[in-house]
Copies of this chain bind each other. A is one copy, B any other.
Amino acid sequence: MNGAGNLMDFLDEPFPDVATYEDFHTIDWLREKSRDTDRHRKITSKSKESLWELIKSLLDAWSGWVVMLLIGLLSGSLAGVIDLAVDWMTDLKEGVCLSAFWYSHEQCCWTSNQTTFADRDKCPEWKKWAELMTGSAEGAGAYVLNYFLYTLWALFFSFLAVSLVRVFAPYACGSGIPEIKTILSGFIIRGYLGKWTLLIKTVTLVLAVSSGLSLGKEGPLVHVACCCGNLFCSLFSKYSKNEGKRREVLSAAAAAGVSVAFGAPIGGVLFSLEEVSYYFPLKTLWRSFFAALVAAFTLRSINPFGNSRLVLFYVEYHTPWYMAELLPFILLGVFGGLWGALFIRANIAWCRRRKTTLLGKYPVIEVLVVTGLTALLAYPNPYTRRSTSQLISELFNDCGALESSQLCDYINSNNTTRPVDDIPDRPAGPGVYAALWQLTLALAFKILITIFTFGMKIPSGLFIPSMAVGAIAGRIVGIAVEQMAYHHHDWIIFRSWCRPGADCVTPGLYAMVGAAACLGGVTRMTVSLVVIMFELTGGLEYIVPLMAAAVTSKWVADAFGKEGIYESHIQLNGYPYLDVRDEFTHRTLAADVMRPRRSDPPLAVLTQDSTTVEDVEALIKDTDYNGFPVVVSRESERLIGFVQRRDLTLAIKSARQKQDGVVSSSVVYFTEDAPLLPASNPQPLKLRRILNLSPFTVTDHTPMETVVDIFRKLGLRQCLVTRSGRLLGIITKKDVLRHMAQMMNQDPESIMFN
């Protein structure tokens, strides 16, 4: 009995240093939550004992805010560094700054004194490669040399990126958002948010974006921010030892990631809430907001865009929009929805092919081929040669007096073209017509190449390419409407709001609406999308156009398939993700889903007082279940509790080593008292301490929709099925997901993990 008593003490804190979940397994939210409450209770009761304990309890209470602050600071700084490095390396493909090679084109010419504002991107210090190497800046030879070096740099960057990812951190590829969604829903992927991933993803993200591929840094920044969150979790045992609490921090980190990606803190919080997070208590909302703000302001103080603005694409429009313009906006929404549906189908088909064919075996070659193609096709067109975010920024801009863009080449009242004065009513000049053609080509190119780029083994975000597609389409439509209004002031649709001489149409706004529509079509974000766009413009005025386009785009895209790109990739990878948005409307019952099925062998159970250590060990060896129900006896099958496989293994192992008299024929007792046996007999092994006495049960008549709801809302790992108190079977999260897949006529075997 003494030995058993010791074991009791030992089991009081059951195996604290062993990670509780295995890799690629699902966590039990309820259990995590109750463990945290226990911890909290312990600290609160201890805090009354001494001043030191009180201070410790206060530190514990504030640690959440400290983690948020650190996440904000680090992710803001990383975003700033990434922005600066991308700027520099993107320009490095074209030339170099002689006064200081680490300056980007823009910085180089800022510091030069010889430039006027109009020629602000031309200065003697900035040399194109051809000029530097051959001395001549013009001519076909120089063009070809620049073209060649541009492609070479691009190939070099992307080769470096894909090699680093392959060698050091395979998890650093892709946008990371599907995996983060899965992790936040309660799945374990060890190393996905580790230090190596953080480091390599940051470096390779810079390389990938600089290589000119059709990808963005916004999605990967969310991954980077989540890695920061995970890193700082390890500083506090409150977060590092509790998978549930850790996920609260990660949700906030995701918000900080979007906040620095777009300079939109509120949009970031809503993105985390709407798109990424699973369990989002109000406390997390508030902390996310704090992290997002700190991140945004850290970024602002680094000031990578050189304009003291928080936002990536700062725009200011001077004219309102008119009701009649809703028609083109809705058309842009339809376009965005169609693009979203097309993109998801094509990209998933291509990614499936990559997974199943030889293609997947040669990721480096794939990346090099795509980069080469991108560089070769992109260079001749000025709109694809520059970085995608510069392109979007130019497309969003309204034409002002100081704008030197080709898109602003309007004929002004003096019949000279540029600089445009502020006279609003204007026919397009030759530059605008040239730009229209180039933009159409750029649109076709972006649409095609993005399908093949997203999903390659390098960090790649989807926000920027999607927005670029929409912005190009939007600007084209915008210019078309503008010119129509100029030339046909007398048409009924224009007469009421667009008199001659009035500035009625802002093509930049169309670009923004188009960008929102395309992004919405691909990701199916709704409120957060509109809020991000709203933060970019800072004006409530344009919410209705954005909203109209976003709704239309979602409806159109939903008609072709309910899943957004992230959900599609989750499905493709077979992660056990229980989407809160899927409504389960079938008429099945728990009895139809539970295992064992009719033809299966009976459920593997333990009895409370008649199983021997040997039996238990055999059961553990023969099965791979995560846990076993414990019943009164095999005859009555009345459920008394549930025991985790892991706890059972460890308890038996340690009892065999440390407890006298526990041998293979010892009986395992889950009851409150074990019989007193003479010392000569094998001593009983008392395991009530590891028995979960409150396992979750439903009856066999419970409709599956209720079961799905319970799994979702309580974050269960498994649930036992009973009828009149008799144990009938068990339903795991995997069973639920497989059943849902089956009901939707999908392959249930696509759900691969526990």
* A531 interface hit (Cβ, 8 Å): yes
* A539 interface hit (Cβ, 8 Å): yes
Q: How far is the CA of A706 from the CA of B310 in the complex (A)?
A: 43
Q: How far is the CA of A556 from the CA of B318 in the complex (A)?
A: 42
Give chain B residues whose Cβ lies under 8 Å from the Cβ of A697. 697, 699
Give chain B residues whose Cβ lies under 8 Å from the Cβ of A713. 713-714
Q: How far is the CA of A177 from the CA of B698 in the complex (A)?
A: 36
Q: How far is the CA of A531 from the CA of B722 in the complex (A)?
A: 48
Q: Tell whether A587 pairs with B701 under 8 Å between CB atoms, given A530-B289, A531-B266.
A: no
Give chain B residues whose Cβ lies under 8 Å from the Cβ of A706. 30, 33-34, 694
Q: How far is the CA of A538 from the CA of B540 in the complex (A)?
A: 7
Whether the Cβ atoms of A535 and B540 lie closer than 8 Å is yes
The size class of the interface chain A forms with chain B is: 35 or more
Q: Tell whether A632 pairs with B694 under 8 Å between CB atoms, given A540-B310, A706-B30.
A: no
Chain A contact residues, majority secondary structure: helix
Shortest Cβ distance from residue A324 to the other chain B in the assembled complex, whole angstroms: 16
* A239 interface hit (Cβ, 8 Å): no
| Residue from the list B40, B289, B531, B693 in contact with A526, Cβ < 8 A | B289
Whether the Cβ atoms of A37 and B694 lie closer than 8 Å is no
Whether the Cβ atoms of A33 and B289 lie closer than 8 Å is no
B-contact 0/1 string along A530-559, CB 8 Å cutoff: 110011001110011001000100000000
Shortest Cβ distance from residue A178 to the other chain B in the assembled complex, whole angstroms: 18
B-contact 0/1 string along A600-644, CB 8 Å cutoff: 000000000000000000000000000000001000001110000
| Residue from the list B266, B585, B698 in contact with A40, Cβ < 8 A | B585
Whether the Cβ atoms of A37 and B585 lie closer than 8 Å is yes
Counting chain B CB atoms within 10 Å of each CB, which of A40, A281, A540 scores highest? A540
| Residue from the list B590, B705, B724 in contact with A640, Cβ < 8 A | B724
* A82 interface hit (Cβ, 8 Å): no
Give chain B residues whose Cβ lies under 8 Å from the Cβ of A115. none
Within 8 A of B (CB), among A36-58: 37, 40-41, 44
Q: How far is the CA of A540 from the CA of B527 in the complex (A)?
A: 18
Whether the Cβ atoms of B693 and A701 lie closer than 8 Å is yes
* A360 interface hit (Cβ, 8 Å): no
Q: How far is the CA of A226 from the CA of B692 in the complex (A)?
A: 45
Whether the Cβ atoms of B703 and A714 lie closer than 8 Å is no
Q: A30-B706, A286-B527, A289-B526 are in contact. List 7 more A-B contacts (CB 8 A).
A: A44-B585, A286-B526, A290-B551, A640-B723, A693-B702, A695-B699, A697-B699
Which A-B residue pairs are the 5 nearest by beta carbons? A725-B725, A693-B701, A694-B702, A713-B713, A638-B725
